[in-house]
Chains A and B, each alone.
Chain A
Amino acid sequence: MKPSSHKLALAITAVIMAAGSASAIEVPLSFFGTNAPPIDFHGFAGQGFIVNSGNNDYLGGKSSQGTFDFREYGVNASMAYDKWRVGAQVYGQKLGEYGDDQIKLDWGTVDYQATQWFGLRAGRVKMPRGLYNETLDLDSTRAFVLLPQSVYDARLRDFQASFDGGMAYGNIEMGKVGSLDYKIFGGNIPMSKDSGASDYFNVDAPFPNLAIHMDDAFGGSLFWNTPVQGLRIGYSASDYQNLYTLRYITPLATDLYKNAPDYIRQLLSVEYTRGDWVFAAEGGFDDTKYNVGAPGGAPTVFLYQNNFYYYVSATWQANHWLQLGSYFSYTHWQQRGVNSIVPGFPNLNQADTAISARFNLTDYLIFKMEAHYMQGAGEVFTQTPVPSRTDSWMMFDAKLTFTF
């Protein structure tokens, strides 16, 4: 019998507290009679709590009542030899009703770095997007409990954390002008109708998806490490091809598909590190045309969806054990019908002003507290109908994380 979520939350917290002084694990292979390099093991476990005011159940759970359904954990193993590196990480998560503590492969790659300017990575690869997408799950790498949700929506993890395919990458020196980091990828992303991504793609109407899938995903990122020490500027883009959802529309008593031949996402990023301060800002734009129709038939309705979103943030490492941070994050979702027969959709907006404190209890154990002031509830999914959402509300979250 599966343990209750509360018991699991308590168990994870106890393990985290007990393990607060552990260090990384290295397993030498020499005693097997080989001269192979050792295998490195690392991992993390984080247990959190979210509660918000108002009638909004945000981030997939009963957060309006307070919930401990907010945790993630992972273990990875890797080995490097010459220009090769292999590794993999398994991961589990509970975020409200998403994740369900199912253990999955987060990433698993074979990597060959031929030169500084060219390498190849294949397998299940972390998705390069913006400043922090590849580290969505790594509490230990940031001050915030939640990254700015306008760009890094925690519910979209299944959609944007990793892809199955290949990536070329490298760093190109440009002398006095700095250097460029590039990543170009292609592959596909398995999707589940029970995921946050599935709910995200039907925010226009409160009918759950019966199916969701896409063909392929392509994209990349390009970052300029400027001659100004600590300043980097980047651009990321991705194209998800034939993004398809199918749902039963109750008032029409029929199934309808919604298909985007190309779902395009673009993101501009800038980060400046100076001493104990890190400043960051990112702004993005999603642009797509949807074809809507009955299964097996030609589309009869066409929708244009244009979302833009951005955040600005600052963090300050006050001393070795305390880091403070704050951000303002904004999302605007807009969908319009091309034909006059399509009803108007309300714009969905949400602004989030957050302030965070991170405490390094030991080298491996961190505790964070965070408060958010929200204006608008556009990012609350359709489990809470739009008319009953609270427009001005507060959210608090806290998290204890162990990393080794």
Chain B
Amino acid sequence: MKNQIHSLLFASVLLVAGSFTLHADPALLGNKGLTGQTLDADTIKAVLLGKKSTLGDARVIVVIIKASDAQEAFLKDHVGMTTDQFNTYWRRLYMTGGGSAPKNVDSEDEASKLVAATPGAIAVIDSAKADGLVVLAAK
């Protein structure tokens, strides 16, 4: 009886643990060409808002994912915007000569591939997908 209760308890713990998806924290990741760049909070904000257009010798290209919890959380913390507001902010810039348009993608995987292939590109992606990319700032 005692063993059955222990087994039931153990199974319950496994079930509950299994219901959680393992997530790493969101991070601002960049193309390999940005190796050596580490950004403080002010610089993260300046880069994401287009006020700082270069990092080192590379012109920054912002990649925005259509819908991403990691991106949403990071943007809220660092620039105080939702993804929709962030897109609107950039539209105001590139449609009036005030900045270069970001690249829009549908998923974190697409963002990861685009950042890996594009000099100067940055994106907010789950840090678990940082393979081949440079971590510019963690959450």
The interface residues of chain B lying within 8 Å CB-to-CB of A175 are 42
A-B contact count (CB 8 A): 89
B68 at the interface (CB under 8 A from A): no
Quick one: which of B84, B88, B96, B100 has the most chain A CB within 10 A?
A: B96
Contact check: which of A125, A171, A317 meets B97 at CB < 8 Å? A125
Distance in Å from the Cβ of A39 to the closest Cβ of chain B?
Answer: 11
Compute how far the CA of A78 lies from the CA of B52 in the bound complex, rounded to whole angstroms.
18
Tell whether A109 pairs with B97 under 8 Å between CB atoms, given A82-B54, A116-B52, A135-B92: yes
Q: Mark A59-95, 1 if CB is under 8 A from B, else 0.
A: 0000000000000000010101111010101000000
Number of interface residues of B (CB under 8 A): 26
The reply to whether B42 and A173 contact each other, CB–CB distance below 8 Å, is yes
Tell whether A229 pairs with B96 under 8 Å between CB atoms, given A83-B54, A140-B91, A141-B91: no
Compute how far the CA of A317 lies from the CA of B88 in the bound complex, rounded to whole angstroms.
12
The interface residues of chain B lying within 8 Å CB-to-CB of A138 are 91-92, 95-96
The interface residues of chain A lying within 8 Å CB-to-CB of B104 are 23-24
Closest A-chain residue to B60, C-beta based?
A80
Q: Mark A245-282, 1 if CB is under 8 A from B, else 0.
A: 00000000000000000000000000001111010000
Tell whether A320 pairs with B84 under 8 Å between CB atoms, given A83-B53, A116-B52, A173-B42: yes
The reply to whether A40 and B100 contact each other, CB–CB distance below 8 Å, is yes
Quick one: which of A82, A108, A121 has the most chain B CB within 10 A?
A: A82
Number of interface residues of A (CB under 8 A): 44
Tell whether A134 pairs with B92 under 8 Å between CB atoms, given A24-B101, A125-B97, A171-B46: yes
The reply to whether B96 and A83 contact each other, CB–CB distance below 8 Å, is no
The interface residues of chain A lying within 8 Å CB-to-CB of B92 are 134-135, 138, 141
Q: Mark B22-38, 1 if CB is under 8 A from A, else 0.
A: 00000000000000000
Compute how far the CA of A292 lies from the CA of B65 in the bound complex, rounded to whole angstroms.
59
Q: Mark A106-131, 1 if CB is under 8 A from B, else 0.
A: 01110101001000010001100000
Tell whether A317 pairs with B96 under 8 Å between CB atoms, given A171-B46, A171-B51: no
Compute how far the CA of A141 lies from the CA of B93 in the bound complex, rounded to whole angstroms.
10
The interface residues of chain A lying within 8 Å CB-to-CB of B91 are 138, 140-141, 403
Distance in Å from the Cβ of B37 to the closest Cβ of chain A?
Answer: 14
Compute how far the CA of A82 lies from the CA of B54 in the bound complex, rounded to whole angstroms.
7
The interface residues of chain A lying within 8 Å CB-to-CB of B85 are 273, 278, 317
Compute how far the CA of A78 lies from the CA of B99 in the bound complex, rounded to whole angstroms.
9
A157 at the interface (CB under 8 A from B): no
The reply to whether B100 and A80 contact each other, CB–CB distance below 8 Å, is yes
Q: Is the interface of B mostly helix, strand, loop or mixed?
A: loop
The interface residues of chain B lying within 8 Å CB-to-CB of A85 are 53, 97, 99-100
Q: Is the interface of A mostly helix, strand, loop or mixed?
A: strand
The reply to whether B82 and A276 contact each other, CB–CB distance below 8 Å, is yes
The reply to whether B54 and A135 contact each other, CB–CB distance below 8 Å, is no
The interface residues of chain B lying within 8 Å CB-to-CB of A242 are none
Compute how far the CA of A243 lies from the CA of B91 in the bound complex, rounded to whole angstroms.
33
A385 at the interface (CB under 8 A from B): no
Distance in Å from the Cβ of A23 to the closest Cβ of chain B?
Answer: 8
The interface residues of chain B lying within 8 Å CB-to-CB of A80 are 53, 59, 100
Contact check: which of B52, B81, B96, B101 meets A126 at CB < 8 Å? B96
The reply to whether B51 and A181 contact each other, CB–CB distance below 8 Å, is yes
The reply to whether B98 and A275 contact each other, CB–CB distance below 8 Å, is no
Compute how far the CA of A309 lies from the CA of B42 in the bound complex, rounded to whole angstroms.
35
Distance in Å from the Cβ of A322 to the closest Cβ of chain B?
Answer: 11
| B60-97 interface (Cβ within 8 A of A) | 66, 80-82, 84-85, 88, 91-92, 94-97
A144 at the interface (CB under 8 A from B): no
Distance in Å from the Cβ of B42 to the closest Cβ of chain A?
Answer: 5
A333 at the interface (CB under 8 A from B): no
Contact check: which of B59, B84, B98, B101 meets A134 at CB < 8 Å? B98
Distance in Å from the Cβ of A163 to the closest Cβ of chain B?
Answer: 12
Contact check: which of A76, A82, A181 meets B95 at CB < 8 Å? A76
A336 at the interface (CB under 8 A from B): no
6 of the cross-chain contacts (CB-CB < 8 Å) are A42-B101, A76-B97, A78-B97, A78-B100, A83-B54, A87-B97
Residues of A within 8 A of B (CB): 23-24, 40, 42, 44, 76, 78, 80-83, 85, 87, 89, 107-109, 111, 113, 116, 121, 125-126, 134-135, 138, 140-141, 171, 173, 175, 179, 181, 229-230, 273-276, 278, 317, 320, 363, 403
For the complex of A and B, the 5 pairs showing the least CB-CB separation, nearest first, are A171-B51, A229-B80, A230-B80, A80-B100, A116-B52
